[in-house]
Amino acid sequence: MTLSELSIRRPVLAAVLSLLIVVAGLASISSLPIRELPDVDSSVVSVTTTYTGAAPEIVDTDITEVIDSAVAGISGVKTITSSSQRGRSTTTIEFELDRDIDEAAGDVRAAVARVRGQLPDEVDEPQVVKSDSDADPVMRLAVYSDRMTPSEVTDYLERFIVDRITTIDGVANVRVYGERRAAIRIWLDRGRLAAHNLTVADVEAALRNNNVELPAGEVESNTRLFTVRLDSRLSTPEQFSEILLKEADGAAIRLGDVARVNIGVEDDSTIVRANGLTAIGIAVQRQSQSNTIAISNAVKAELARLNEQLPEGMQIFVGSDDAVFVSASIKEVVTALAISLVLVVLVILVFLRSVRATLIPAITIPVSLIGCFSLIYILGFSLNVLTLLALLLAIGLVVDDAIVMLENIERRLASGETRLQAAVRGSRQVTFAILATSITLIAVFVPISFLQGAAGKLFTEFGFVLASAVVISTFVALSACPALASKILKAREGVEADETAMPEGRVYRWYRGAVKAAIANPLVVIALCVGFAGSSYLAYQTVPQELTPTEDRSVMFIPLTAPQGSSLKYTDQQVAELEDKLVAVQDKLNIDIIYTFTGFRDRPYRSFIVLRFA
């Protein structure tokens, strides 16, 4: 007994099996990760080392070369890219596609730890993150306050905001731009230093010796134990001014005698503004192979909790968010999927001219598509533009099996058979044809999933999802379709059963005439096929080729470069002029936020503006 015959004789069993497919699919949807594209991210690990004040040549020799040599011996390394800037070294290691990102990061940390002793003592601890440190962030935030100074905003940001965003799952790194950490600024007077026979090294040594906090031991009595703390940390300009540099002829030479000391900021080489307001920028970078939408949702949820606790007058702007475009793309594909499903049902209704017959594919198509979600979950895939596109294309494949089964049963009913006879005999006739067609389609789609390289990895999920849709549609066509046909379709009364009878109709007569003409003129048919194939090849040569199409993400980037050697102040003045013009047309162009970075990555002559449209 075939599956179709079992389903016809046991319709409740067929209904339960279809419901199980639907339930499994619906249960899997909520657990599927959502991405713009399949996971094609390479395993990328970055090592960033800060050496404050060092020239690029020194950074390259003392840091970058040492780290490059250390990580070169790690297994699975594909490429190593390094850059040495003033005070900063960056090494980006890209691993093979099959390399686990966590294991790769662990190997890099171990390699860097082995050469830590070869780096200068003054460098900060190397930072190892599971992403490209120079990659574009998935979210840009701006923190602004009309009541707090930039130094106070920076302090609050680092104490209460950055750490909470960093701990979000999938976030690789949170970089702060335009920060204004409070610091003591010492402006040395070269003339006075020379007059007292002092050098910058003497001042540095005095600062190190006097601005320290050391353990001073313990004081123990019969009943108490006290920890002694020697607090010699300096915190005010007056205290720094009193630092003794040396004694000459009985006179004390202090720091205030050779320098001007005041409270300033640690670094003011970057300027950030949001809608013309001075702000502190936050860039959220995702880990390789993490979920952009999940990160965005988690960050927004965290920001909602933070907004309840922010000091009065402080605001957090979202400058840009890649997840907005990703969500819109997924929504568009889902909409297209629904429209396609409706159109397919309408086309079936037009050609079959029977509401009863149309109900069968209208029921079985959603069952097959929903069931695919369970296989997507089992295979470890995600909901993305390509997997949804595969489901969109699968509608045509899914409906084919159902129509083949339905049309053959309908034909036998038209020849005078009863519903049960037509369902059993009709399904038996086309079972092998449906199986052969499905196996052929699976054999075509599965090899797509084994293509090599980035493009091949991009279509891995696409091929498997299409093949999964064919598998489920075949099962549904051989079980639910004949069972429904035996209950829903209407038998032709008063018609004598004749297996050889064929329904006559205008479309059928046209089709029969076209087939006869093609058989009578085979050379014409072959010539037409060759002509179409040749024209397709010529068209393929002229069509532009790219991995993914260019799309409007409602975000505009305006890079600005001043002449080499320009100061931060000069660059900011020129950028401010452009900002003023953009603010003047902000409402007219429907610009939601104007986000400006000047002095980006220690380059005072570089700036860029991010425009996010509503």
| pLDDT-flagged residues of the chain (< 70) | 40-42, 131-135, 231, 288-289, 453-454, 491-505, 547-549, 601-602
The residues with which 265 forms a beta bridge, in sequence order, are 182
Q: What is the largest distance, in Å, between two alpha-carbon atoms of the chain?
A: 132
**Which phi and psi angles does 605 have, rounded to 5°?**
-95, 0
282 touches 175 (CB < 8 A): yes
Per-residue pLDDT tens for 400-432?
Answer: 888 888 888 888 887 778 888 888 888 888 888
Task: Return the pLDDT at 289.
Answer: 61
DSSP reduced 3-state for 40: coil
Say how many C-beta atoms besides its own lie within 10 A of residue 127's C-beta. Answer: 14
Alpha-carbon span 362 to 344, nearest angstrom = 9
Task: Return the pLDDT at 430.
Answer: 87
Q: How far is CA 70 from CA 55, 74, 121, in A?
A: 22, 8, 18
Cβ-count burial of 355 within 10 angstroms (0-12 exposed, 13-18 middle, 19+ buried)?
exposed
Rg (CA), the chain: 36
* Global pTM value: 0.67
Task: Return the pLDDT at 249.
Answer: 78
Per-residue pLDDT tens for 85-133?
Answer: 878 899 999 888 777 778 888 899 999 999 988 998 888 889 888 765 5
Task: Return the pLDDT at 65.
Answer: 92
Q: How far is CA 199 from CA 84, 158, 190, 208, 259, in A?
A: 29, 35, 9, 15, 12
Task: Return the pLDDT at 495.
Answer: 47
Alpha-carbon span 21 to 411, nearest angstrom = 29
Task: Return the pLDDT at 505.
Answer: 62
DSSP reduced 3-state for 366: helix
Give DSSP secondary structure letters for 232-270. Answer: ----SHHHHHT-EEEEETTEEEEHHHHEEEEEEES--S-
What stretches of 178-310 show up as alpha helix (H) in DSSP?
190-195, 200-210, 237-241, 255-258, 292-307
Tokens of 161: 């905001």
Per-residue pLDDT tens for 447-481?
Answer: 888 877 667 777 888 888 888 888 888 888 888 88
